[in-house]
């Protein structure tokens, strides 16, 4: 009687342990089958999150700087400039204004040297000429228009902007949209430029053409 009692007890223990093991493996199996799609959905969610610098569609190659320049929209929203994922000028930073917005970047290190807005209506053309003449060699020059960049531009300014590689500086006029990236010692015309003439027949906004966006990868200057 006592031996069968012990055996019954052992059988009960054995049954409990196997049931427990079975339940445990069943749960972990379930957890795995649940976890797999979760992991997959995480991966598919992460793909659009991985963005290149300045929101570019693709990262720039090594030895290139990423940039994105947006001109102002009419006289309502100011321009924005991003360089190597750093917003240099924007309405949020409160360092943009109507006229020409210009940022200077060291072409070797990618470090921002200065940024300034020149309002032609405040007689800042002289300041702009001085500013453009003093740009050091090997400097990248980022330009974005806002509202009216062209009305009071003089020949000297147009020549200086053209010497940075601009094709459109000579014809920049009243309320044109213009975005440009050039460099101080550029021998050729810059491939980074967009221009839209103010034309009442084609203007997107009443009185202003559409805003322009310019983005890309500019090669680092090897000293």
Ligand X SMILES: *[C@@H]1O[C@H](CO)[C@@H](O)[C@H](O)[C@H]1NC(C)=O
- Min CB(119)–ligand X separation in Å: 25
- Min CB(65)–ligand X separation in Å: 13
Residues 118-137, interacting with ligand X (CB under 6 A): 136
Applying CB under 6 A, which of residues 109, 114, 122, 151 lies at the interface with ligand X?
A: 109
Using the rule CB under 6 A, is 115 a contact of ligand X? no
The helix (run of H) or strand (run of E) holding residue 22 is helix 2-49
Q: How far apart are CA 175 and CA 128, in angstroms?
A: 18
Are the C-beta atoms of 193 and 216 separated by less than 8 Å? no
Binding mask 89-108 for ligand X (x = CB under 6 A): -----------------x-x
Residues 134-153, interacting with ligand X (CB under 6 A): 136, 138-139
Bridge partners of residue 219, in order along the sequence: 64
Please give the sequence-ordered ranges of beta strands (E in DSSP) within 19-98, or none if there are none. Answer: 64-70, 80-83, 86-89
Nearest to ligand X of 30, 108 (CB atom): 108
- Min CB(219)–ligand X separation in Å: 15
- Min CB(135)–ligand X separation in Å: 8
Are the C-beta atoms of 80 and 89 separated by less than 8 Å? yes
- Residue 108's CB is within 10 A of a number of other CB atoms, namely 13
Using CB under 6 A as the binding criterion, the count of chain residues that bind ligand X stands at 7
Cα torsion for 6, 11, 14, 15, to the nearest 10°? Answer: -140
Q: How far apart are CA 148 and CA 172, in angstroms?
A: 10
Nearest to ligand X of 88, 125 (CB atom): 88
**Interface residues with ligand X (CB under 6 A)?**
106, 108-109, 113, 136, 138-139
């Amino acid at each position: 009687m006592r031996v069968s009692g012990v055996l019954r007890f052992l059988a009960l223990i054995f049954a409990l342990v196997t049931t427990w093991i079975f339940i445990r493996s069943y749960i972990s199996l379930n957890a795995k089958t649940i976890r797999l799609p979760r992991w997959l959905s995480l991966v598919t969610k992460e793909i659009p999150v991985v963005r290149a610098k300045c929101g570019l569609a693709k990262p720039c190659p090594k030895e290139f700087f990423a940039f994105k320049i947006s001109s102002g929209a009419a006289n309502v929203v100011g321009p924005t400039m991003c360089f190597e994922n750093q917003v240099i000028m924007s309405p949020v930073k409160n360092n943009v204004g109507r006229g020409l917005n210009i940022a200077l970047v060291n072409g070797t290190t990618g470090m921002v040297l200065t940024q300034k807005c020149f309002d032609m209506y405040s007689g800042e053309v002289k300041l702009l000429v001085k500013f453009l003449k003093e740009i050091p060699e090997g400097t990248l020059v980022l330009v974005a228009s806002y509202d009216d960049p062209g009305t009071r531009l003089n020949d000297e300014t147009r020549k200086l902007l053209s010497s940075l590689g601009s094709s459109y500086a000579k014809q920049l006029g009243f309320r044109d949209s213009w975005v440009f990236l050039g460099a101080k010692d550029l021998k050729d015309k810059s491939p980074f430029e967009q221009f839209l003439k103010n034309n009442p027949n084609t203007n997107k906004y009443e009185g202003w053409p559409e805003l322009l966006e310019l983005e890309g990868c500019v090669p680092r200057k090897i000293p």
